[in-house]
Amino acid sequence: MACHPSVFDPATYYGHHEADFGMSWCAGFGTKFYEAYHELIPKEPGFEKRKKLYLLYHYLNHYNLFGGGYYSQCASLLSDLTGKSVSIGSSVASLICEALSVSCLAE
């Protein structure tokens, strides 16, 4: 078998395009990027809420993997999504349970 240069993407994804916004916080995209993106793919009703849910997924994952540095982002997003205050010192399990109780994908 001959060796040829190739690219392997271990994080391929097939799903809703808005899921891209879940990891956009670590990419450093500027305002112009998002304006151009939404020129091509306009925001659908409920976008802002779904964006927070997609962000929450990745922040919870980082909180679980790397610890407390991500707690405040998780708590803030959960408070925004649920309208409830998230208590300081909540465990990862309780944050995830709170996240799973959020039903904001459909408006």
Q: Taking residues 56-64, what's their average pLDDT?
A: 88
The answer for residues whose C-beta is within 8 angstroms of residue 65's C-beta and 6 or more apart is none
**97, pLDDT greater than 60:** yes
Q: Taking residues 34-40, what's their average pLDDT?
A: 93
Q: What pLDDT does 44 receive?
A: 92
The answer for residues whose C-beta is within 8 angstroms of residue 3's C-beta and 6 or more apart is none
Give pTM, 2 decimals. 0.71
Instruction: Give the pLDDT confidence of 66-76 residue by residue, as tens digits.
Output: 988 888 888 88
**100, pLDDT greater than 60:** yes
Q: What pLDDT does 89 receive?
A: 64
Q: How far apart are the first and last CA of the chain?
A: 53
